[in-house]
Structure 1
Amino acid sequence: MKPTTNPKSHPRATEYDVVIVGGGPVGLLLAYQLKRFGISACLLERYQKDTQDMHGRAIALFPRTLEQLAQLDLIKPMLQQGFACRTSVTYKDGERVLPGRVWSFMENIKDTTFDFVLVLRQMFTESILRRKLDEINAEYYQGVECFDFAVDKAVPAADYPVTSEFVVKATGDKFQLKSKYIIGADGGRSFVRRHAGIPFEGDSSDDQWIRIDGLVETNMPLARSYGAIESKTHGNVLWAPLDHAATRIGYAYTPEIATKYPDGVTQEIAEKEAENCMKPFDVKFKEIHWWTLAERIILCGDAAHTHSSGAAQGLNTGIHDAVNLGWKLALQIKGISVPKILETYNDERQLAVNQLIEYDKDISMLMSYKWPKWYKGDPDADPYIVLGEIFEKAQSFNTGLGISYPVNAVNHQGCTLSAKLFAGSRAPDVELQMPGTTQKVTLQEITPNVASFWVIVFAGNPASTNQSLLKLREFLLGSQNILACENISWITVSAISGASPFETLGMEPFGDAFFDGSGSAHERFGYRTSSGGIVILRPDGLVAHWGAIDGRVVEKYFSAVFQV
């Protein structure tokens, strides 16, 4: 098998814009973005991943995560290897529970091309990301450990104030790197976090979980659906179909089970209890790929909180962190954005992580067949009913499609012209037509994350909007300053379909043009086809601002976001 990493252990240079410590999915994705965005970055991983990688760890990629990966041109190889799960099932005492609980939101995913959960074990996700780094000639080194770093606050960022020290584990050779930023993506026991003195915040828990992956034979119906088996002895058992025809079984390692095995857990015990937790269904492992007894899983990033694996959000949260940070860091290093834009990274992601922490506290308790502290109802009631209700209420959070951020330095409230747009929320992934071929495309397909803001002009009926378009053209021609920035891209959406954009608009479009002959895209964005409007999207596809077809709307926004 061809190696997927740079065979050298020493970086090519001694100075980089960014040094990234940790070659897991978050570090890999961040390094990939920065390279694509024209930023010099060096990623260093302490382990030899090609030999250290295991089948286990995170498995589920939810729709919003898939959208973000698609915008970064990463999704195709993942779709080739992963298992697209669109169905779920819940069993209690061997009988199917209808409607299903816990994972039933998978069957009601709407408003996205990715109307499924892609199940792909982290080993394969990381392998794909490493190959992508090779393809773009990014710098990634394995078997290299960071043992020291310091930031000289008296040195300007342009002069590389961060000095980091590394050792090649195989040889003991040491080297030093200079950078503008150092990023800690090195997991729960993060050296970067500890060395920087950043406190670890998070709740502790005695909850323990066993996860075991492998090839299984079973008489359980719907064995290739995401399943929840309600057990009073093993908690809410996870049944997850995996890539490459494998399956994961996860169950609570309760004090009662632990008492049976005073000498600790072995693979044989994990397998035996997995078979027990699935009763009355028969389960037999033909192969075991990986198993673990895990107390807590730790979110990487500035917040560094802990959460259980019950909500299956760890990898998704890390990817959202990397996507949120990548374009902001690139624009800051290039001197394009004002410093406040990069500062929104911590505020936005910490808000989402804290929401996950609170949500997960309830899930982990209920999955263990225990009541959360806030519960004041009937103690003899079924906790799994409440668990199902919580998952149902949190559907938009689970899929990631409903995660949004408040008004801040990058998310500006727009005018009342549209009542359907909200600053910091995901833009509707509307369907449009390509001129000429009338080929259908989605908005996310034509607005990739290239560290560029997207200005979308929703042009209406030429009789009513032509004058507005002409004024916008004149304004842009007379304003060749901030609006000429290469990190602003334009798209025109015409409410009329025709032979060519020029004929439907009566003038050249702003950027590439697409047709919305049905008017459905205008309607989804809250604009009338008779008047149209403008929407500004962040590089990660969230709504940044909106208003009338007026150059002053665009100029005012970017004057606040970019350095004039």
Structure 2
Amino acid sequence: MPEDATFDVVIVGGGPVGLLMAYQMQRFSVSACVLEQHDKTTQDAYGRAIALFPRTTEQLDQLDVIDPMLQLGFACRSSVTYKDGERVIPGRVWTFMENIADTTYDFALVLRQMYTESILREKVASAGATYYSSTQCIDFTVDETKAKNDYAVTSVFQDNKTQKTFTVKSKYIVGADGGRSFVRRHAEVPFDGDSTEDRWIRIDGLVETDMPLDRSYGAIESKTHGNVLWAPLDHGGTRIGFAYSDAIAAKYPGGVTQEVAMAEAIECVKPFKLVWKEVHWWTLYQIGQRMARDFGAKTDRVFLAGDAAHTHSSGAAQGLNTGIHDAVNLGWKLALQIRGITAPSVLQTYSTERRSAVQQLLDYDRDIAMLMSHKWPAWYTGDRDADPYLALGELFERAAPFNTGLGISYPGNVLNHVGFNDVLADTLAIVPGSRPPDVELMTPGTMRPTRLQRVARNLAKFTVFVFTGRVETTRPAMEALSTYLRGDAKAGKDASSIWSHEAIDWVTLSPIAGCSPFETLGMEPLGNTYYDTTSIAHNKFGVNLEKGGLVILRPDGLVGGAYGKLDGSLVKDYFAEVFA
């Protein structure tokens, strides 16, 4: 590290969340440095997080990261539940994987963290971000009196191999340094929550078994080892997870070893047979749920993401997914703030939005952890002789939209104009703060299909979708909108600043196809045009074909505003609050 090095953003922690943050910053024309305290060539080679759910893979697709992961990962579309050696039909717990709709990524992508991190490090290098391993943050100070664009953060790092220290200046510092986060502790952000006495074992490797469906995401209902996880991994591997109860621990006064983990894994899948061919990784850990009181600190110069901001059990396999959602939510907001594009209130929504989503996860993760350990939660007043796994299956079913990530939404704020969408039809509510339907569209000329998620995949820009209706009824409104947006002196004056803004893309969706967008619309289209020949987009978004409509998508692909008429002042008013 050169003397007096400066970056827009310093990121502490080189796991998936920190790497994805650094990659985004560089892609969005913001300088970033990520520093990892461990030597990743010797730290846990396998293990840790494995499952990426659909909304996460959509976001990784938007960032051009997903393709190498698809080459290495295991795409799981099926699940199975076993009890006493018999298949339970219908299955429980993981059955939501078989009912994923409205997305290209209708599966869980299983890829061990070692491979995810390797891919992200390559992306970080290709984007030009600076990366250091074996480098530990030992101090940082924030000058809260400095202007927003000044280098207010001074960080001190130590090279763990040479013990030499160096100083880096930055505008912001992001703590992505895990559950024991130095950044969180040094910023004096409380970490609220608690831990339980429950412990779980996870063990990965290559196995041989007579289990009939051994390459499906599985749950084995055991009274001694809890709700046993059976997860097919990349490269032909398998993860087995089970509760390490007091009764099991009593069998091993010398403590847990790899041999103990292997032996109890064999026990927990009985009556099926299991032979270990290779063991790649194993761990014993304690269950708990904690969340930082705020994800931003020191006048929003310090931010927390991933395990530094929240920890919970691995019962629902949400850890990595939640961390990636943090990184994506913070990434574009921080970049546009640094570039002077958005108002400070936009960056402030990171903490409120992500805390609301994480709180939902923690609320049901406590119940999941108890039920998976074959215990009833303390609040349960029903029949305690009943089967907790029945309640566990019902809980997973209710939480399916959250588990896949497709149903995660945020409340109204400066970005999410909740209340304005009542001008749309109620056929399918498209609520600001939520993910829009990923509908199929047609490309002009080739008439080849594409998807809305692909059309709006620039995570550094807002996208305004102009839904035209029938040409004969909506053309006058389209012409007026075009005139207004392009800044005619009689109808908007300064609206042209919105039309040509560097952080806005425009897309026209026409229910009618033709030989060219110009002739189809009878006028110059607003941005690129795609055809909605089946009107599925108009119907799912609730747009009236006689009136048309406008939908604003945030850079992360969520709905910001939805309006049932072609009125440019609505768009102008939205961005008047968002932009600096």
| TM-score bracket, shorter-length normalisation | over 0.9
1:35 maps to amino acid:
Q
Alignment gaps of 5+ in structure 2: 296-308, 488-494
Q: How does 1:176-215 map onto structure 2 within 5 Å?
A: 176-215=167-206
Correspondence for 1:325: 330
Correspondence for 1:308: 313
Correspondence for 1:468: 477
1:480 to 496, 507, 510: 496
Alignment gaps of 5+ in structure 1: 1-9
| 1:407 CA drift (Å) | 0.5
Provide the rounded CA distance (Å) in 2 between the counterparts of 1:21 and 1:356.
Answer: 25
2:67 to 72, 76, 89: 76
Correspondence for 1:497: 513
Provide the rounded CA distance (Å) in 1 between the counterparts of 2:321 and 2:567.
Answer: 37
2:401 to 372, 396, 407: 396
| 1:416 CA drift (Å) | 2.3
Provide the rounded CA distance (Å) in 1 between the counterparts of 2:144 and 2:111.
Answer: 42
Correspondence for 2:305: none
Residues 421-478 of structure 1: per-residue CA shift (max 9 Å, x gap): 1010001101000001011000011111331000000111111111111111111121
Counterpart contact for 1:188–1:298, Cα < 8 Å: no
2:570 maps to amino acid:
V
2:510 matches 1:510: no
Counterpart contact for 1:187–1:300, Cα < 8 Å: no
Q: How does 1:36-435 map onto structure 2 within 5 Å?
A: 36-296=27-287, 302=294, 304-413=309-418, 414-418=420-424, 419=426, 420-435=429-444
Q: Secondary structure at 1:127's aligned position in 2?
A: helix
| 1:16 CA drift (Å) | 1.1
Counterpart contact for 2:375–2:388, Cα < 8 Å: yes
* CA 1:248–1:139: 2 relative to 1, 3 Å: same
Correspondence for 1:445: 454
* CA 1:12–1:24: 2 relative to 1, 3 Å: farther
2:568 to 518, 535, 551: 551
Counterpart contact for 2:287–2:369, Cα < 8 Å: no
| 1:299 CA drift (Å) | 7.2
Q: Secondary structure at 1:322's aligned position in 2?
A: helix
Correspondence for 1:6: none
Residues 474-531 of structure 1: per-residue CA shift (max 9 Å, x gap): 1112122244320011011111011111111111211111001111111011012232
Q: Secondary structure at 2:197's aligned position in 1?
A: coil
* CA 1:17–1:385: 2 relative to 1, 3 Å: same
Residues 160-215 of structure 1: per-residue CA shift (max 9 Å, x gap): 11100111111122211111111100001111111111111122111100000000
Q: Secondary structure at 2:184's aligned position in 1?
A: helix
1:452 maps to amino acid:
K
Correspondence for 2:544: 528
Q: How many equivalent residue pairs?
A: 554
Counterpart contact for 2:415–2:560, Cα < 8 Å: yes
Q: Secondary structure at 2:119's aligned position in 1?
A: helix
Provide the rounded CA distance (Å) in 2 between the counterparts of 1:358 and 1:472.
Answer: 46
1:84 maps to amino acid:
A
Correspondence for 1:3: none
Counterpart contact for 2:421–2:431, Cα < 8 Å: no
Correspondence for 1:4: none
Identity %: 62
Counterpart contact for 2:4–2:169, Cα < 8 Å: no
| 1:297 CA drift (Å) | 6.8
1:506 maps to amino acid:
G
Residues 53-108 of structure 1: per-residue CA shift (max 9 Å, x gap): 42100100001101111111111001000000000000000000000000001001
| 1:306 CA drift (Å) | 2.9
Provide the rounded CA distance (Å) in 1 between the counterparts of 2:74 and 2:143.
Answer: 48
Provide the rounded CA distance (Å) in 2 between the counterparts of 1:151 and 1:562.
Answer: 26
Provide the rounded CA distance (Å) in 1 between the counterparts of 2:515 and 2:3.
Answer: 52
TM-score normalised by structure 1 residue count: 0.96
2:436 matches 1:458: no
- Aligned Cα root-mean-square deviation (Å): 1.3
Provide the rounded CA distance (Å) in 1 between the counterparts of 2:220 and 2:38.
Answer: 37
Counterpart contact for 2:193–2:290, Cα < 8 Å: no
Provide the rounded CA distance (Å) in 2 between the counterparts of 1:485 and 1:238.
Answer: 50
Provide the rounded CA distance (Å) in 2 between the counterparts of 1:364 and 1:64.
Answer: 23
| 1:300 CA drift (Å) | 8.1
Residues 202-259 of structure 1: per-residue CA shift (max 9 Å, x gap): 2211110000000000000110000000000000000000000000000000000011
1:286 maps to amino acid:
K
